[in-house]
Structure 1
């Protein structure tokens, strides 16, 4: 299996570098790139005095439509000189309607390319778009920090293996990249001796990947730092990895939003591309 349908969602002109990353991956995979230009209406009509909401709502919709049209024109101009297969579509939605809008498009994509949803430069809608692709779209999502891919992207991959269903889904979705990699490390952090793999953490996964021709090996890591995300990031840097593969949101989104979690911490801190799925 290869990635043949790649989707990227842009909502601001600042997503130009994200588009460049999507173009690069599309060319590499000989795929079709779908670009979805999003105009978001952030109005909250319930907060206006009687009679004013209709005017404010229409003005906000008009602005969102104009922004989406301008963005689509810009993307079409950029893609016009490319030798890849591509299509561009634009739409307008209120914040509450993003889930269905993005989820339906992500559902029929092999890979969704986005930037980090938790950073200083992230758009206000980045979190909603990312979660819609993961949950409603059930898609593999490649998060590219600051919209830039390493020159040797995918040559060395670290799998953050937690023996969970989400991690297994991410591995399966990442198989085209894993098979093409020069080296893949299955990193298991402080595994429980009573877990499903017991005394052989990562062993069954390594066997499965090896049978697919993946050059895989296992590293069992002690919990030397307070957060799992810090251990994973440190190990990725240590081995020179240029892609991390991991399951997303093993806990509920609400819990991670309030208490934090590995997914949220990784998306907020790491400078490496991450392929996530659940």
Structure 2
């Protein structure tokens, strides 16, 4: 992961995802592109006559410049290569535009201007539209030690395969990789790609994976996966993202959406 695209915003998760981007850059010898995007529509919805927007413009610009100055001061003391891009527009659109020549997009779990336990529409847009994997970093994350174990959520789908393949450069740095499946007593479904196929793929890259079958139980699948990852002291979870278009809104599938509603650790997503 030599080219890291980092979303810059003044939300409560900014420090966490910046630290994770720095950790990845150090582990891979990578370069961070800090992308700060400001959309006036976010701050003044329904302002048909532009009066509120006109009044807010100076403060919006000042706040953006203050955030940039603070983060650039912090980055100047770090031993990584980085650059700054400032663009006007919706963050998901600008991140999507810049993503083709990046190896990973690092974002927080919330939409701009929102906090709390709710799946981000921006994350959904990026995961389903970009061909670049997305790493979602919760605000409680202090760092991402790339040598920590990682858990891969496996259900035999093509999306799971895409996520596994995209995450391979990072998984190669992990001390241990768990390929986890959720089993159900009444499950008659056949895997398109069984866990052994995923393990064989990783083995060709010199990565040994431990296959783990977890009973379904009464908890939600997302909660079961988080518990399994935390039990094994994993620093990251890898999963394929499901989704479909409904009207003009991009919707993520159930397990993906619930995982992003309250992520317990960084989640590496690809579709």
Matches within 5 A, 1:121-140: 122=115, 127-140=120-133
The equivalent position to 2:154 in structure 1, one of 161, 171, 185, is 161
Unmatched tracts of structure 2, length 5 or more: none
Distance 1:266 1:149, change over 3 A: same
Offset at residue 223 of structure 1 (A) = 1.3
Which residue in 2 is equivalent to 1:17?
16
Relative distance call for 1:86 and 1:5 in structure 2 (3 A) is: same
Q: Secondary structure at the residue paired with 2:172?
A: helix
Q: Matches of 2:217 and 2:259 in 1, distance apart? A: 17
Report the Cα distance in structure 2 between the residues aligned to 1:277 and 1:240, rounded to whole angstroms: 22
- 1:151 deviates by 6.0
Structure 1 position 104 matched with structure 2 position 97: yes
Confirm or deny that 1:195 pairs with 2:190: yes
Q: Equivalent residues in 2 for 1:1-278 (5 A)?
A: 3-12=1-10, 14=12, 15-41=14-40, 42=42, 43-45=44-46, 48=48, 53-93=49-89, 97-117=90-110, 122=115, 127-146=120-139, 148-150=141-143, 152-190=145-183, 192-197=187-192, 201-250=194-243, 261-278=254-271
Backbone CA RMSD of aligned residues = 2.9
Between Structure 1 and Structure 2, which shows a larger proportion of helix residues? 1
Q: Report how far residue 169 of structure 1 moved.
A: 1.2
Q: Deviations over 1:198-251 (max 9, x none)?
A: 8xx311111111121111121222211242112211211222222110012345
Distance 1:114 1:179, change over 3 A: same
Cα deviation, 1:49-106, whole Å, max 9, x if unaligned, reads xxxx13333334443333222222222222122221110122232xxx4442221112
Corresponding residue SS for 1:38: strand
Tell me how far 1:34 sits from its aligned partner: 0.5
Aligned residues: 263
Q: Deviations over 1:95-137 (max 9, x none)?
A: xx4442221112321011122228x983899924323432332
Tell me, yes or no, if the aligned pair for 1:182 and 1:215 is still in contact at 8 Å.
Answer: no
3-state SS of paired residue (2:132)? coil
Q: Secondary structure at the match of 2:36?
A: strand
User: Retained in 2: the 8 A contact 1:20–1:147?
Assistant: no
Q: Against the structure 1 CA distance between its residues 124 and 62, is the aligned structure 2 distance closer, same or farther, given a 3 Å change threshold?
A: farther
**Length-normalised TM-score, structure 2:** 0.84
Bigger RCO of structures 1 and 2 (CA < 8 A, at least 6 apart): 2
Partners in 1 of 2:98 and 2:30 — Cα distance?
A: 16
Judge conservation of contact 2:245–2:251 (CA < 8 Å) in 1: yes
1:178-198: CA deviations, max 9, x gaps? 122221111111275442448
Q: CA deviation at 1:146?
A: 1.0
Q: Structure 2: how far apart are the matches of 1:265 and 1:126?
A: 7
**TM-score, normalised by the number of residues in structure 1:** 0.82
Q: Distance between the aligned counterparts of 2:147 and 2:265, measured in 1?
A: 11
User: 5+ unaligned residues in a row in structure 1: which ranges?
Assistant: none
